[in-house]
Structure 1
């Protein structure tokens, strides 16, 4: 870890790494992270910490200052500001809350305190990738001063999630009236009798999760509304994430237009090889239709890759370090314009 001073903090519902700098000529880059479902930022603690340390040692670190911020999705934490709410949040509400949070981000200290960031790179995991694409679309349509330079989409669920192996199974359950609320009530009744320490042990024993992930899962299962929120949002995902709905502002063009007034964000998709939340045929169709061809050097179309290392959809459980190393390289490429 670098000796640079930092106002870094990790809370239950928020993780931020923000080194304190006193150079007014430095470039400030915000790495804004959006979780998957269930939307607890604590699952990504190791991933974000590793990425932060890698970026501190990056060749692009000086005179650039990388700030990382991520927070839990709404409805998953018992102590969030709207914890008195009695119903779960929809996917549309999650998008709007993420948009408001991103727009509120400012340089937190130093001679440029309170100013907007120079560069914004957004990372989304799973449904967080769908939220990422929606943020880009809405910001561009509103002509916002917030300009996302690039998006990194990890194991993205951005089209036809209901056709995935897990989507097919859970969609069947959602045909049961009010399934999300009923199932969450049953689950809460079952876990309520077990102390959190015992539940953590059971989660680790059954799932073989590492201790830190098992602890986050136990907290999620014991939370007031977490299970209901996760299931309610999952149903919304099945209903909403269907056809490819984006235009040139997202997918880019084969050759850059010389008179284009606003740069199309660079998008990097990293798919799983056999992702239970992404059907192989829908993934391959998206890559064929929207991905950049290898020799398209002047193209603004997305880069799309498929993992070859057997990494699971929930990479943050066991593969945080290896994915952080890849993301660091992609961020360096964005910074250098490669």
Structure 2
């Protein structure tokens, strides 16, 4: 097993000398704020769980995991600081380009395309996931997207959510993201790092690792502006259902076409403050599988009953990783 972890990237790559092994890439897309550090425990737990699968099925399926922070949320030494925040569209393009550039890193099939890809997106990362799937399909990409797992997805009408209503009112103030970030940075930089870290922990009650990530985000040169700018675009862009029928698994008489449609699993929160219950329920009714849709290619849409927050990565990483592992096993071994 080779792995690489930094503040902005994480990758796990099991090694295999079996030329007939099937290599599956699990590509993760963060929410907003787009710092991968929030998901460190989630991805490490998922890798540990899948490592058992790798050992059990070493002759057939090898799972690789890759994730990266979205652009602009933290200071990266190798990247220049942009003059303005990245748009939601540019984040989608950057994530797609990153995905298209990944290859099997070692072994007999070094530098070949992965045999299958599972995309996992959280919050706005789920919206980006659907956009990437649709764009790859339209471009006749050689990448084989097997499935998508959308965690606490904000894919329609985010401005109608409880938090969306509140933040949309602020965005009516001209140039609010930039002005608010200047004010916030002024306060942040007055506090020494250790004091700021203590205050973040006191106010948020986050675990130690999440406090570290949040402190790094607050002290970055663009992070606050980037988060607010992107949130404003989310309110304006994530409205009506905008994807083609193929994305939603509308039934085809052509079995080959049906088999190429990625299997989607939506996992919604119960009373998620970033997803209005009525817009969630409308999407489930319009696009999700019903009880009589056995064998359907429509998405599976589930609602959490365990009280997990929208920001699952703060306190519920292990339990969500366990669910994701079960879904991956089902998609890989029972489909």
State the TM bucket, normalised to the shorter chain: over 0.9
Q: Secondary structure at the match of 2:306?
A: coil
The answer for the alignment partner of 2:31 in structure 1 is 36
The answer for the alignment partner of 1:62 in structure 2 is 58
2-side partners of 1:44 and 1:115: how far apart? 28
Residue 34 of structure 1 contacts residue 70 of structure 1 at CA under 8 Å; is this kept in 2?
Answer: yes
Matches within 5 A, 1:124-273: 124-254=121-251, 257-260=254-257, 263-273=260-270
Residue 256 of structure 1 contacts residue 298 of structure 1 at CA under 8 Å; is this kept in 2?
Answer: no
The offset of 1:81, in angstroms, is 4.3
2-side partners of 1:32 and 1:207: how far apart? 29
2:3 aligned with 1:8, yes or no?
yes
1-side partners of 2:229 and 2:57: how far apart? 41
The offset of 1:259, in angstroms, is 5.0
Alignment counterpart, residue 322 of structure 2, candidates 320, 325, 328: 325
Deviation per residue, 1:152-174 (Å, 9 max, x gap): 00000000000000000000000
The answer for the alignment partner of 1:86 in structure 2 is 83
2:100 aligned with 1:96, yes or no?
no
The offset of 1:298, in angstroms, is 2.6
Moved more, 299-308 or 60-69: 60-69
Q: Secondary structure at the match of 2:185?
A: helix
Q: Secondary structure at the match of 2:121?
A: strand
1-side partners of 2:205 and 2:259: how far apart? 47
Alignment counterpart, residue 305 of structure 2, candidates 308, 316, 319: 308
Moved more, 146-155 or 295-304: 295-304
The answer for the alignment partner of 1:19 in structure 2 is 14
Deviation per residue, 1:257-282 (Å, 9 max, x gap): 33527610000000000100000000
2-side partners of 1:206 and 1:84: how far apart? 29
2-side partners of 1:316 and 1:290: how far apart? 27
Q: Secondary structure at the match of 1:100?
A: helix
2-side partners of 1:247 and 1:81: how far apart? 38
Residue 77 of structure 1 contacts residue 83 of structure 1 at CA under 8 Å; is this kept in 2?
Answer: no
User: TM-score normalised to the size of structure 1?
Assistant: 0.96
Q: Secondary structure at the match of 2:106?
A: coil
Moved more, 231-240 or 244-253: 244-253
Q: Secondary structure at the match of 1:58?
A: helix
The offset of 1:83, in angstroms, is 2.6
Q: Secondary structure at the match of 1:149?
A: strand
Residue 41 of structure 1 contacts residue 70 of structure 1 at CA under 8 Å; is this kept in 2?
Answer: yes
User: TM-score normalised to the size of structure 2?
Assistant: 0.97
2-side partners of 1:306 and 1:239: how far apart? 26
- Which structure 1 segments of 5+ residues have no match? 1-5
Q: Secondary structure at the match of 1:209?
A: coil
Residue 74 of structure 2 contacts residue 216 of structure 2 at CA under 8 Å; is this kept in 1?
Answer: no
**After the TM superposition, which parts of structure 1 deviate over 2 Å for at least 4 consecutive aligned residues?**
58-63, 80-84, 254-262
CA RMSD of aligned residues (A): 1.3
